[in-house]
Structure 1
Amino acid sequence: MDHYIDIRLRPDPDFPAPILMGALYSKLHRALVELAADDIGISLPAHNTGVQARHPGETLRVHGAADRIETLLATGWLKGMRDHAEVGEVFPVPDNAVHRTVRRRQFKTNADRLRRRRMRRHNESETEVIEAIPESIEKRVTLPFIQVRSSSTGQRFSLFIEHGPKQDTPEQGRFNSYGLSSSATVPWF
């Protein structure tokens, strides 16, 4: 993780930034799957948190070795996004960078959906599932998210992204096909 590239969304009157970020990130996901890349990570340096401001920001930062980032760029995965994004140069990570994990978080946020699922799976009555799953189970998620389409299932879903605490030393490890890891860190600056 000694190099990075920033991809910044351009303002667009027809498409809001979260929609464009979803398209950009979905394309990156497909490219990482194609490359079988487990050594490329991402971060969202301008993300916002909070119930009312769960926005990924306008910058997608891709981290990795310089040659791996160049290989990724050579796949042409940005085709169709060039009008909507500015692709920066591949730069070395600043010496003073700290590190943090960037990982996926999943939440059980909808009590009604959980109840319907339990009724189907366990053949329980509505009364039984209301007792088992109270309204208080719902969580108010404050993390930024991106709407993506899975390359394996084709389903669209909200990918909630959590930036872990800052730490002084990097942790080596593998990244998934979304450029996320619960243990490996990326530089943060």
Structure 2
Amino acid sequence: MTTHYLDIQLRPDPEFPAGQLMGALFSKLHRALVSHEADDIGVSFPEHRLRPREIGACLRLHGTESRLNELMTQSWLSGMRDHVDVNAVSAVPTQAKHRFVRRRQFKTNAERLRRRRMRRHAESEQTVLERIPDSVEQRVSLPFVQLRSASTGQRFSLFVEHTDPQTQPRDGHFNTYGLSNDATVPWF
């Protein structure tokens, strides 16, 4: 149950755009959640917007008071301390609604899908072109965090969906990005 939260607010920086700093911060959080095998810490982005599409400059962590304090005693924020303000762990307001905050994946690049299919299925370029037309590409209006895969080194966009507020919380587990399809986080 996510009874507590803490906000990590990015400071304005003339050298780095907020999106780049949020990507670095979120990558560090992801590595910390992996190393701690944490499936009980969720995230949300309370400043996210759909128009214009922005993830915002605030990363909110959700969990129990003890679990959040335990995470924050680790050195996972090293290298980011000059770029962030970290609030104290606080209790969630009693009137808070709840939201699912989850990852959404989209087919945004037909050419990349074709190359992948050719590698995986040993199909010719012509066959793949017929199977994957340009029309499969989807336009995405969700905010995202730009990350680099630790395993492949490739950059990718992690699209984040905040669902409509729910009246009741739902318990469940979070993935190593702090996102979940079955657990809600408080929204206030």
Aligned equivalent of 2:56: 57
Aligned equivalent of 1:124: 123
Aligned equivalent of 1:3: 4
- Give the C-alpha shift of residue 166 in structure 1: 1.1
The CA distance in 2 between the partners of 1:159 and 1:60, in whole Å, is 14
Deviations 1:125-152 (A, max 9, x none): 3332222112111001111111223455
Query: Aligned pair 1:22/2:23, yes or no?
Result: yes
The CA distance in 1 between the partners of 2:21 and 2:181, in whole Å, is 25
CA 120–186 in structure 1, closer or farther in 2 if over 3 Å, else same:
same
- Give the C-alpha shift of residue 57 in structure 1: 0.2
Where do 1:9-48 residues align within 5 Å?
A: 9-48=10-49
The SS at the match of 1:18 is helix
- Give the C-alpha shift of residue 165 in structure 1: 2.0
The SS at the match of 2:182 is strand
The CA distance in 2 between the partners of 1:185 and 1:164, in whole Å, is 9
The SS at the match of 1:78 is coil
> Between Structure 1 and Structure 2, how many residues are aligned?
187
Deviates more, 1:80-89 or 1:117-126: 117-126
- Give the C-alpha shift of residue 78 in structure 1: 1.4
Aligned equivalent of 1:138: 137
The residue type paired with residue 24 of structure 2 is A
CA 173–153 in structure 1, closer or farther in 2 if over 3 Å, else same:
farther
The CA distance in 1 between the partners of 2:24 and 2:161, in whole Å, is 20
TM-score, normalised by the number of residues in structure 2? 0.93
Aligned equivalent of 1:84: 83
- Give the C-alpha shift of residue 153 in structure 1: 5.4
Aligned equivalent of 1:110: 109
Aligned equivalent of 1:149: 148
TM-score, normalised by the number of residues in structure 1? 0.92
The residue type paired with residue 28 of structure 1 is L
The CA distance in 1 between the partners of 2:70 and 2:116, in whole Å, is 43
Q: Which runs of 5+ in 1 are unaligned?
A: none
- Give the C-alpha shift of residue 187 in structure 1: 0.2
The SS at the match of 2:135 is helix
Aligned equivalent of 2:97: 98
The residue type paired with residue 133 of structure 1 is I
* 1:30–1:151 Cα contact (<8 Å) kept: no
- Give the C-alpha shift of residue 60 in structure 1: 0.1
The CA distance in 2 between the partners of 1:153 and 1:36, in whole Å, is 21
